[in-house]
Amino acid sequence: MPRPAIITIDGPVASGKTSLGRMLARWLGYQFLDTGIMYRAITWLALDQGLDLGDQDVLGRLAGECVMQPKGEDGSGVVLDGRELSEELRQPEVDRAVSLVSQAPAVRDALVEQQRRIATEGRIVMVGRDIGTVVLPDAELKIYVTASVRERARRRHMELRQKRTPIPYQQVLQDLEARDGLDTSRSHSPLRAADDAVRLITDGMGPGEVLERVMGLVGRA
């Protein structure tokens, strides 16, 4: 059976979309792109250059002038203007600033162009918050993955504990609620499910079970 050439996976923070996308791309032999890593790269570059993160025009020019390409099969890094970045993108200062940078419409416009370019290079699973609605609205298969905010907070809390970054569960929950508010209420490319997306609510489901469900969707797409 022919498979869809482009698969989009959207969803809120800690919904499991990145892990799902990575596993699905590996199973299909597709390229994988977590678009969130691109916003982290712009944030890192702005911090590295000492730019004002409140100046959206400056951030937009920065994003428009650079060239990015996914790095590695797992999509854990990018090549930014010829420089490989991975661990730098997970620095605490990047974590704190990426939400602000990603709100800038000019940054989103510039990165959407790059994401569309990358999608023309071959079969791909692309993950983010506006992929099925804005970046690749004509994708053959769109999936929207979500879970209750308490379930997502539990997952993120466990992940942070495994990384030996102890943050109280209540703080993780409040941070996720705040991020959900920002993502869904922004005027430019808000987080929402595409009208033709398949919605998956993953409370109580393990990664393997979610992947199996999506593999069935691929077969029927």
169-186 pLDDT per residue, tens: 999 999 899 889 988 988
The residue extents of the domains of the chain are 1-30+124-221, 33-121
198-210 pLDDT per residue, tens: 999 999 898 899 9
Spelled out in words, what is the top-level CATH class assigned to the domain 1-30+124-221? Answer: alpha beta
**16: how many CB neighbours lie within 10 A of its CB?**
22
Domain 33-121, what fold?
Rossmann fold (3.40.50)
Q: Judging by DSSP bridges, how do beta strands 77-80 and 83-85 pair with one another? A: antiparallel
Domains 1-30+124-221 and 33-121 share a fold: yes
Residue 41 has a pLDDT of 96
Q: Looking at residue 181, what DSSP letter applies?
A: H
This model's pTM is above 0.85:
yes
